[in-house]
Amino acid sequence: MLFKQQALLRQKLFVLGSLAIGSLLYLVARVGSLDRLQPICPIESRLGPPHLPEQIPLRTLQYKRGLLHELRKGNATKEQIRLHNLVQQLPRAIIIGVRKGGTRALLEMLNLHPAVVKASQEIHFFDNDQNYARGIDWYREKMPFSFPHQITIEKSPAYFITEEVPERIFKMNSSIKLLIIVREPTTRAVSDYTQVLEGKERKNKTYHKFEKLAIDGNTCEVNTKYKAVRTSIYTKHLERWLKYFPVEQFHIVDGDRLITDPLPELQLVERFLNLPSRISHYNLYFNATRGFYCLRFNIVFNKCLAGSKGRIHPEVDPSVVAKLRKFFHPFNQKFYQITGRTFNWP
């Protein structure tokens, strides 16, 4: 009887020992395989773009645009906000300028991307002392609701030329991405003048001709005190921004090309923002009546920019145009050198 019990005990110990050794060998092999795999495929490389994790696929974000639209109209309930984990985020990218360079068109086109949410209005937080004094929470509350891993973008073109703005944005986020859209400087200045002229005419007010504003009557030289001219000296403003941000945090968009062939420019911005390429030819179609591209979000929803876009410019004395282009030329060359992007400006 005792012999049988001892034999049974030895048998149980053998089975348990075999299981323990097998488990130990499995763990050793598993750890070894993980060690071998880690340098080949680090976890960071499997995560994809930083703002678009697996749990919120881009297709899902596209389907939920309707909810965000309701939020913008103020129709969504607090329960919907809580249920969908929606938040108001500070922008991770800002279109800082340039006025009449195409900032509205750029913002609307980027909003085609399912991972981008735009602030519909110009907030003027950093360039307006009264707004800035209200604090960062006030600024955040002006942002649209979004899913946590979407990118919020706002645009206020006055930021580019306002002295206090670079430091203020730096204090909010020193690693923010900054977009600057530019056009040929003389064309941009005339466009700037045209917008102001239209506003004066609506109020039945008179306004000087462009030539009289752009050229100093006493010296016959370019009038750098005229704001439309001063804004087009891009390099002067950019140098102030570079005191706070490295050039790698800026992306320069060709505003002239955005009008005639927008997709390549938008794809460059997608890359700069570390977004997967999602905007395609399907999303952009040329409207011959308006003379520029309109946006197609899906089969149902299309959108064209406001009729005020693409105003007809007044005719400007060719000698004044030539004088302005000659004046801007050295500043343009320096702008190309700093940004690493060259334009075919005369």
196-225 pLDDT per residue, tens: 999 998 998 889 999 999 999 999 999 999
- Cα separation, 235 vs 345, in Å, equals 15
Residue range 105-118: average pLDDT? 96
Nearest CA to 73 among 120, 116, 114, 115?
120
Enumerate the active-site residues. 100
Round to whole Å and give the CA distance between 124 and 130: 10
b/e burial code for range 205-216 (CB count within 10 A of at least 16 → b) = eeeeebbebbbe
Domain residue ranges in the chain:
88-185+230-311
| Element of type H or E holding 154 | strand 151-155
Contact 117, 86 (CB under 8 A): no
Q: Which structure tokens are listed for 206?
A: 């008179």
* pLDDT interval class at 98 (50, 70, 90): very high
Instruction: Judge whether residue 17 has pLDDT over 80.
Output: no
Alpha-carbon distance of 153 to 115, in angstroms, equals 11
Annotated binding-site residue numbers for 3'-phosphoadenylyl sulfate: 100-104, 183, 191, 293, 309-313
The yes-or-no verdict on residue 286 having pLDDT over 50 is: yes
Domain 88-185+230-311: give its CATH architecture. 3-Layer(aba) Sandwich (3.40)
Q: What are residue 234's DSSP bridge partners?
A: none
Q: How much is the pLDDT for 24?
A: 44
Lowest mean pLDDT among 28-37, 136-145, 303-312: 28-37
Mean pLDDT of 60-69: 55
Whole-angstrom distance, CA of residue 328 vs CA of residue 346:
9
DSSP code at position 282 = G
Cα separation of 108 and 95, whole Å?
Answer: 11
Q: 118: exposed, middle or buried (C-beta count within 10 Å: 0-12, 13-18, 19+)?
A: buried
Greatest alpha-carbon pair distance for the chain in Å reads 126
Annotated binding-site members: 100-104, 183, 191, 293, 309-313
- Residues contacting residue 94 through CB under 8 Å, at least 6 positions apart: 153, 154, 155, 156, 159, 169, 176, 177, 178, 179
3-state secondary structure of 169: helix
- Tens digits of per-residue pLDDT, 150-209? 999 999 999 999 999 999 999 999 999 999 999 999 999 999 999 999 999 899 888 999
Compute the chain's Rg from CA coordinates.
29
Residue 254 has pLDDT above 80, yes or no: yes
Report cis status (omega within 30 of 0) of the bond before 98: yes
C-alpha neighbours within 13 Å on the C-beta side of residue 294: 14
β-partners of residue 227 are: none
Residue 232 has pLDDT above 70, yes or no: yes
Contacts of 229 (CB under 8 A, 6+ apart): 189, 214, 222, 223, 324
- Residue 96, Cβ neighbours under 10 Å: how many? 29
The first and second tokens of residue 259, run together, are 């009008």
Look at residue 32 in the predicted model and tell me its pLDDT: 39
d(CA 156, CA 107): 10
pLDDT tens-digit series, residues 26-55: 433 433 333 332 332 232 332 334 444 333
pLDDT at 241: 98
